[in-house]
Amino acid sequence: MDDFMRDDCCAPKSEFDVAVIGAGSAGFSAAITAAEGGKRVALIGHGTIGGTCVNVGCVPSKTMIRAAEALHGARAASRFPGLHGEARVAGWAALIAAKDDLVSTLRQKKYADLLPDYDGVAYIDEGPARLIPGGVEVGGRKITAPRVIVATGDRPAAPDIPGIQDAPTLDSTSLLELDQLPESLIFLGGGYIGVELAQMMARMGTEVTIVCRSRLLPRTEPKVSEALTEVLRAESVTVLDGATYHAARRDGDLAALTVSVDGAELDLTADRLVLTTGRTPNTEGLGLAEIGVETDARGAIRVGDDMQTTKPGIFAAGDVTDRDQFVYMAAYGAKLAARNAVLGGAERYDNAAMPWVVFTDPQVAGVGPTEAQARDAGYDVKTSVLALENVPRALAARDTRGLIKLVADRASDRLLGGVIMAPEGADSVQTLVMAIKFGMTTRALGETIFPYLTTVEGVRLAAQTFEMDVAKLSCCAG
């Protein structure tokens, strides 16, 4: 795409108020925010326009996960007496093509087609960018800007396992580009990307094994990890947690992995190893060290609460930083960066009421600290745990997989955090977000009116569980 500016014909094309490196969610958020404030913006491409989320992350993975849920929904119909359902993948190539069409459509509509609507934004895609004094160098020319925002995102990382470079592997990107459905896969890593994609592929008909060093979703509540492990095993996914990786290799056309679990050494084989053990910030070639921008041990750019790096005048946002790795937090941080960099702002990054979602089935969604994190922060905590079998919606749906756990401060009764594991948990967690954001007590939450036969009603029941046995309440009135 050619760079352009509108209604500013007299301004030198290489002089701007701010240069934004990266044209994904964070980059667009920063550029649009600055442009709406009347600033001249150089939006410098880094990879495919649209970045990770629309191209290789959220959009393609979630549409494939939904497709897998449709398969599972048909097969699970027998939980209702008198029903029987069957479903299978009839055309993998057609499914992949539909996913690719959705991605290209959203990339065009939500990114490329937006640029002409913002006067003062120049899109520059002339090669790798490098930070230099006074601006950015791109394609051999200097882009002069007193402020720079780095938003170059990240990419899948390869684990440090002997032989991994020789074994047949996939990552979260290449997995969703396969032209044929594999017979077997071994997923390395039990984080949210690994468990989402592993369950999706298992439901598509692939034999799946998950191998992880600790437990599934290690950053959330242990009870949720245990429950999710049970769910996946019930769907014939092999989960090997607490594993130690020893070596990987190619075994003919297959991938082989040697691990130890509970003191026993195991040799595993599959069509491919899927590497979902972490991600690496895209910082190579930017000249960060030379310009004075510090990074952490992972290579992520260190930023303060104002989103400024250790070099005054240079800001960063999104997955390239040491902040939260979610697309909505990338956009949020980028807005702060733009406001603070060129619009006279003094805003601070605040993730105290930040929701997160894992799109397994049941979904897992949460906000605020876990019980352990709250204790480490010095709170005298109290908790409630509500099994989904106590939620009328789950009983009516004949699907009681999951639970709700709330964490509160004992002294003030103020809600601190919570996690919901339920088929509709993603659409219910925002109630907890609002409760935490506005400092609600568990008593107030338990006295709030909720609609009956909804999953979110479980939040009220979980709040009431602090003081009573909700199993003894009337089913239609609590």
In Å, what is the CA distance from 312 to each residue of 110, 134, 230, 286, 292?
32, 12, 50, 16, 9
**Site of tokens 């769910």:** 231
Write down the architecture of domain 355-472 according to CATH. Answer: 2-Layer Sandwich (3.30)
319 has binding-site annotation: yes
* Predicted pLDDT at 478: 58
**Cβ pair 241, 190 in contact under 8 A:** yes
Torsion of the alpha carbons at 42, 45, 50 and 55, rounded to the nearest 10: -170
143 has binding-site annotation: no
DSSP, collapsed to helix, strand or coil, labels residue 378 as coil
**Site of tokens 């070596």:** 247
194 has binding-site annotation: yes
CA 18 – CA 34 distance, rounded (Å): 8
263 has binding-site annotation: no
* Predicted pLDDT at 3: 37
303 has binding-site annotation: no
* Predicted pLDDT at 466: 97
82 has binding-site annotation: no
Contacts (Cβ under 8 Å, ≥6 apart) of 427: 455, 456
CA 475 – CA 478 distance, rounded (Å): 7
* Predicted pLDDT at 26: 98
- Count CB neighbours of 36 within 10 A: 13
DSSP, collapsed to helix, strand or coil, labels residue 17 as coil
Q: What tokens were used for 291?
A: 């310009």
Contacts (Cβ under 8 Å, ≥6 apart) of 152: 21, 22, 46, 47, 281, 282, 283, 286, 318, 320
Low-confidence ranges of the chain (pLDDT < 70): 1-13, 475-478
**Cβ pair 302, 322 in contact under 8 A:** yes
CA 214 – CA 216 distance, rounded (Å): 7
191 has binding-site annotation: yes
Produce one character per residue of 404-427: b if its CB has 16 or more CB atoms within 10 Å, e if not: bbbbbbeeebbbbbbbbbbbbbbb
Burial degree of 478 (CB within 10 A; 0-12, 13-18, 19+): middle
**Cβ pair 107, 50 in contact under 8 A:** yes
Torsion of the alpha carbons at 209, 361, 61 and 32, rounded to the nearest 10: -140
Q: What tokens were used for 241?
A: 């947690």
User: Kind and range of the H or E element at 222?
Assistant: helix 222-234
Convert the pLDDT of each residue in 1-16 to its tens digit: 333 333 344 444 689 9
List the domain boundaries for the chain: 18-50+111-155+280-342, 169-277, 355-472
CA 377 – CA 362 distance, rounded (Å): 29
190 has binding-site annotation: yes
CATH code, residues 18-50+111-155+280-342: 3.50.50.60
111 has binding-site annotation: no
361 has binding-site annotation: no
123 has binding-site annotation: no
Establish whether domains 169-277 and 355-472 are of one fold. no
List the end-to-end C-alpha distance of the chain, in Å, as a whole number.
59
**Site of tokens 């109630």:** 431
Query: Is it true that domain 169-277 has CATH number 3.40.50.620?
Result: no
